[in-house]
Homo-oligomer: A and B are copies of this chain.
Amino acid sequence: MRDVAVRAGVSIMTVSRALNEPGKVSPEMREKVLRVVREIGYLPNHLAGSLSSSRSTTIGLIVPSIDNSIYTQTVKGLSEVLKRSGFQLMIAESGYDPNEEEELITIFLSQRVSGLVLHSTEHTPQAAEKIRKSGIPVVENGNIPAEPLDMVVSFSNHDAAYAMTMHLGRLGYRKIAFASLYSVHNDRSKDRLDGYQAALRQLGLDPDPRIVLETERGLASGAEVMARVVQSVPEVDALFCAGDVLAVGALFECQKRGWQVPGRIALASFDDVDLLRHVSPSVSTLRLPRYDIGERTARILLSRIIDGAEHLRGSVIDLKFELIQREST
């Protein structure tokens, strides 16, 4: 930048202003500076700028696992909005481990991110304390927690699972099995289970621990769950797969075994993967606002950072989900 200043015969401040506050510099000066900038291919050092102004244009995002299709839409929404305002996204994965998450938060704070997005809503007390102390805005967006750190943009896992279970109940299914991902350190799974159980109570159905299962992600798990539940508890008439691609695996298993869906057993899923619409029978599911969550998260974060909209502190935005009834139920 000094080079530019010298070659343009102006002060360093004028260069800085020509680049960052063009309005505060006369058109001739601006032109002169910008010409030199292009000539020597000068690239501003954003690090120095951030240090000096104590403002950064980096947002930190922590997801449990990057290779999970459900996050990609959210990341896309985030990324697109942030890019428009010149913000960058730093992404890290916590592996569903709050201690790992805390460490990543520490690193991000060290990098002086100007905002933080956390998918998980389970944090160590130290993590919460560090964030509070740093004063930067945070959005949690995997669930709606009882005690948010700051802002929340999400749908309610509890309500969604409740809605789908009620739907199955109303359709006349009486022995509704439930499969989710492991709920250790995964409050989304916990809330889905709670929602399912609340709906059973509402429907006057007896809970049966034999048909409530936890498993890992993947098609194979879904297949395995379906086989297990039908064989161990033959009177089961519906399976609600509240987890990543489990439903597709479960459906394949039925096709393989020749179990009619929904004749022998109904099948419902949690996330609206494109696939569920195209398989046969098409699978009833919940359309969750994954992209919108990213978009709204970015917007509210930017309001706080750029406009200093302090009144948004603690906002909880509950985005709607949609129940999609298809052939499988």
Whether B76 pairs with A46 at a CB distance below 8 angstroms is: no
Q: Least Cβ distance of A307 to chain B in Å? A: 22
Report Cα–Cα, A107/B87, bound state, in Å: 10
The CA of A67 and the CA of B274, in the complex, are separated in Å by 13
Cβ < 8 Å to B, chain A residues 1-15: none
A273 CB to closest chain B CB (Å) equals 10
Q: How far is it, in angstroms, between the C-alpha of A92 and the C-alpha of B91 when the chains are bound?
A: 10
* Dominant secondary structure of chain A at its interface with chain B: helix
The reply to whether A88 and B112 contact each other, CB–CB distance below 8 Å, is no
Binds B, one of A26-34, A148-156, A160-168, A249-257: A249-257
Cβ contact of A76, chosen from B51, B67, B134, cutoff 8 A: B67
Pick from B69, B90, B256, B278: contact of A88, CB below 8 A. Answer: B90
Please judge, given known A-B contacts A67-B76, A91-B89, whether A249 and B223 are in contact too, CB under 8 Å: no
Q: Mark A10-47, 1 if CB is under 8 A from B, else 0.
A: 00000000000000000000000000000001011111
Bound state CA distance, A252 and B281, in angstroms?
11
Establish whether residues A56 and B47, one from each chain, have CB atoms under 8 Å apart when the complex forms.
yes
Q: In the complex where A51-B51, A91-B89 touch, is A255 in contact with B280 (Cβ < 8 A)? A: yes
Instruction: From the candidates B72, B73, B107, B252, name the one contacting A278 in the complex (CB within 8 A).
Output: B252
* Pairwise interchain contact A43-B110, C-beta atoms closer than 8 A: yes
The answer for the CA separation of A293 and B123 in the assembled complex, in Å, is 32
When the two chains form their complex, are residues B91 and A219 in contact, meaning their CB atoms are under 8 A apart? no
Checking B44, B112, B252, B278 against A46 with a beta-carbon cut-off of 8 angstroms, the contacting residue is: B112
Given contacts A47-B50, A88-B107, A280-B256, contact A219 B275 (CB under 8 A): yes
> Would you call A130 an interface residue if the criterion is a C-beta within 8 Å of the partner chain's C-beta atoms?
yes
Given contacts A43-B110, A280-B255, A76 and B93 within 8 Å (CB-CB): yes
Contact across chains for A43 and B109 when beta carbons are under 8 A apart: yes
A201 at the A/B interface (Cβ < 8 Å)?
Answer: no
Contact B41 A51, beta carbon cutoff 8 Å? no
Write out, one digit per residue, whether chain A residues 118-154 have a CB within 8 A of any chain B CB (1) or not (0).
0000000000001001100000000000000000000
Q: CA separation between A146 and B199, bound complex, in Å?
A: 60
Listed by A's residue number, 23 A-B pairs whose Cβ atoms lie within 8 Å are A43-B106, A43-B130, A45-B51, A45-B110, A46-B107, A46-B110, A46-B111, A47-B47, A47-B56, A47-B112, A48-B51, A66-B72, A67-B72, A67-B73, A67-B75, A69-B72, A79-B93, A83-B92, A88-B111, A89-B90, A91-B91, A249-B278, A275-B275
Q: Is A218 interfacial (CB-CB < 8 Å)?
A: yes
